[in-house]
Structure 1
C-alpha cells in the first residue's frame, strides 16, 4: 500500500547538498547520560540491535540486509528490488530510495564542474541562510512527524528528537564552506562512479545483493564527508550501547543509547522473535507493507523524515557567494 502522506520533494536537493541531505535523513534521539554498560546488555534482543549497528559501521550493507529480516522476507524483497518495487534495505538507512537519482547525478562524466557551479550559486557563503533554513525545517519537521506520516510511536519519538539534534548541529557546521562543498562533491562523484551503478536501472540490473556490495564503499565516502562537517557517524555507532528493557515471550523492548551531533541519543526499539532470532518490529512491519504493494507500484520504504526546504536564493556576483 502506498504512503500518501510521505514527502517526495527532498530529491530536488540531492544534487546540491548531499552532505546535509544525508544528515537530515538520519535518525537519533535522547539526552540523558548513561553508564558504560546498560542493564541487559548481554541479552539476545540487545545483541541483535548492536549487530545491525556494527554492520552499518563497517559499511557491510549485505550483512545488514541478511540480519535485518528473516530469510523469506529478504528473498522476496530481493525480487521486488529487481522489479523496481523496492530499494530495501536502503530505506532503513541514510541511503534512502532517492539513492538512484543521486548516483545518476554524481556519476555523469564531468558532474563535478556542474555541481560545483550549482553549489557556488546556491550555497557558498550562505551559512546564515542555511542555518535559518535548518531552523525552519526543525519547526516544520517536528510538527509533521507529530501529526502526519505513517510512523510508529517509537519512530515519532525518535524522529522528533533527531530533527532537534541535527538542527543544533547545523548551527555550527560549515555548510556554506566553498572548499568543503567542492571537496565533498569531488569525493562523492568519484565514489558514485566507482559503484558502476549510475541510476535506478543499473541498481535493478545488478540486483539487491550485488548493489549492496558495491554501495558499501559509497556509504563509507558519505560518512567521511559528514565527518568533515563535524558529524562522525562511525564514532556514534562505535559508542552505541544497548540494554534490555523487557522481554515477554516473542516480544522485547531494547534501550539504545549513543552520542550524535553533540547530543546523547537515548531511545527504545521493539523487537519480535521469529524462528529463534530477534528482529526490529518496525523493520518487519515495513517489509510487510512493501511486500503487500501490487506489482508495478513505485519503490517505497520506511517512512522518511520530511524533505529539505528550498535552497536560499542565489546572490549577485558581488554578494556573499563570491567569498568562501
Structure 2
C-alpha cells in the first residue's frame, strides 16, 4: 500500500521540479521579468508545456544543455541493452500484450478482475485511510531526512504529500465503472503502441521509444483523470514569478494547485551559455561527471614501467 503513495508523491515532486523549468510570470507586488527565451520563467513555461503534451524528448532537451542532452541520448542507447532479455520476460510480455490488445480485452479483463475487486473491498477498503496515513508518515520522514532540501522545500513537499493523501483517502479506486474506464484506457494504449514482442520493443531507437513513451504518458494521464486527478489542471495552474535574477543565478517563486490544494514552491535556476536550467539538475550533472572521472582514474591501467637498460658487457681482460 505504501508503494502507490510513494509513486504519487514522486509524481507530485516531478511536477514541482519540472515547474522549476517553466511558466508565465504573474502580476504580483514583486516585479516579474518579462518571459523570453532567455529568462528563467520562460524556461519553466517551456517545460510545463512540453510535459502537458507528453513530449518527454522535448522536455529532456529543454531541461539539459545541448552537450548533456546528446550524452543522455548516447547513454540511453547503451543502457537499454545492458539487461539481457530472458525467455521468461518474453513470455510475460506476450501474455500481457495479448490480453490487453484482444478484440474483447475490456470485457474479459474486467470479468477476471471483478471477483478480486469485491474481495479487496471486503478486506481492505475500510483500512485505506489508515494505510494512507501511515504511508504519509513514512514519506514525510524521508523528506525530512533529505539533506539536499531546504527547510522551505521540506515544508512544500510535505504539503504536496498531504494533498495526495487526502485524494487517496477520499477515492474509491475499486469502483467498478472506474475500473472499466481504466481498463479501456490501458487497452487502447497497448493497441496504439503496436508492439508485437519484447525484442521489437528493445530494438526501438531513441526517437521511436520517445514516441511510445508519449502514448504511455497520455494513458497514465487519462487513467488518473478517471479518479479526479487531472495533471493538465495542475500544470495549467502553475504561476511563476522571478523574485531575483543577477544574470547568472535566479530564484523563481511558483504557485500551483494540486488536487484542489494551493501550494507553493521555489525554483533555483542557473544560466548556462545564455539558457536557464534547474540549479539542482546542473549540480547533479557536475557530481556525476566528477564521479565518472574518479572512476575512470581508478580503473585506468597503470603506465608501463620503463624497460631496464641492457646490461653492459664486462670489459675485456
The verdict on a shared fold, with TM-score over 0.5 as the criterion, is yes
**For the aligned residues, what is the CA RMSD?**
3.7
Give a deviation string over 1:55-87, Cα, whole Å, max 9, x none: 11122222111111111101111122122279x
Would you say 1:162 and 2:153 are equivalent positions?
no
Distance 1:287 1:180 in 2: 41
Contact 1:192 1:198 in 2 (8 A): no
Greater percentage in helix: 2
Distance 1:56 1:128 in 2: 35
Secondary structure at the counterpart of residue 27 of structure 1: helix
Secondary structure at the counterpart of residue 267 of structure 1: strand
1:81 is aligned, of 68, 72, 76, to 76
Tell me, which stretches of 5 or more residues in structure 1 are unaligned? Answer: 1-8, 30-34, 87-99, 295-324
- Structure 1 residues 124 and 78: CA distance shift in structure 2, 3 A: farther
Contact 1:27 1:158 in 2 (8 A): no
- Structure 1 residues 250 and 41: CA distance shift in structure 2, 3 A: closer
1:243 is aligned, of 241, 244, 268, to 241
Which residues in structure 2 correspond to 1:1-324 (within 5 Å)? Answer: 23-27=8-12, 37-38=27-28, 39-40=31-32, 42-43=34-35, 44-84=39-79, 107-110=96-99, 113=109, 116=113, 120=117, 123-124=120-121, 126-148=124-146, 151-153=148-150, 156-196=154-194, 205-289=203-287
Q: CA offset at residue 187 of structure 1?
A: 1.3
Distance 2:75 2:94 in 1: 24
- Structure 1 residues 54 and 283: CA distance shift in structure 2, 3 A: same
Tell me, which stretches of 5 or more residues in structure 2 are unaligned? Answer: 17-24, 82-88, 293-317
Distance 2:54 2:220 in 1: 11
Contact 2:26 2:240 in 1 (8 A): no
- Structure 1 residues 173 and 262: CA distance shift in structure 2, 3 A: same
Give the stretch that moved more between structures: 114-123 or 247-256. 114-123
Aligned length: 260
Give the stretch that moved more between structures: 285-294 or 59-68. 285-294
Distance 1:48 1:71 in 2: 14
Q: TM-score, normalised by structure 1?
A: 0.67
- Structure 1 residues 54 and 235: CA distance shift in structure 2, 3 A: same
Contact 1:166 1:261 in 2 (8 A): yes
- Structure 1 residues 107 and 161: CA distance shift in structure 2, 3 A: farther
Distance 1:104 1:21 in 2: 26
Secondary structure at the counterpart of residue 79 of structure 2: coil
Distance 2:115 2:65 in 1: 43
Distance 2:199 2:159 in 1: 35
Distance 1:180 1:292 in 2: 48
Structure with bigger RCO (C-alpha 8 Å, 6+ apart):
1
Distance 2:262 2:277 in 1: 24
- Structure 1 residues 246 and 140: CA distance shift in structure 2, 3 A: same
Secondary structure at the counterpart of residue 204 of structure 2: helix
Q: CA offset at residue 257 of structure 1?
A: 1.1
- Structure 1 residues 251 and 135: CA distance shift in structure 2, 3 A: same
Q: CA offset at residue 275 of structure 1?
A: 0.8
Distance 1:201 1:292 in 2: 35
- Structure 1 residues 213 and 287: CA distance shift in structure 2, 3 A: farther
Contact 2:234 2:257 in 1 (8 A): yes
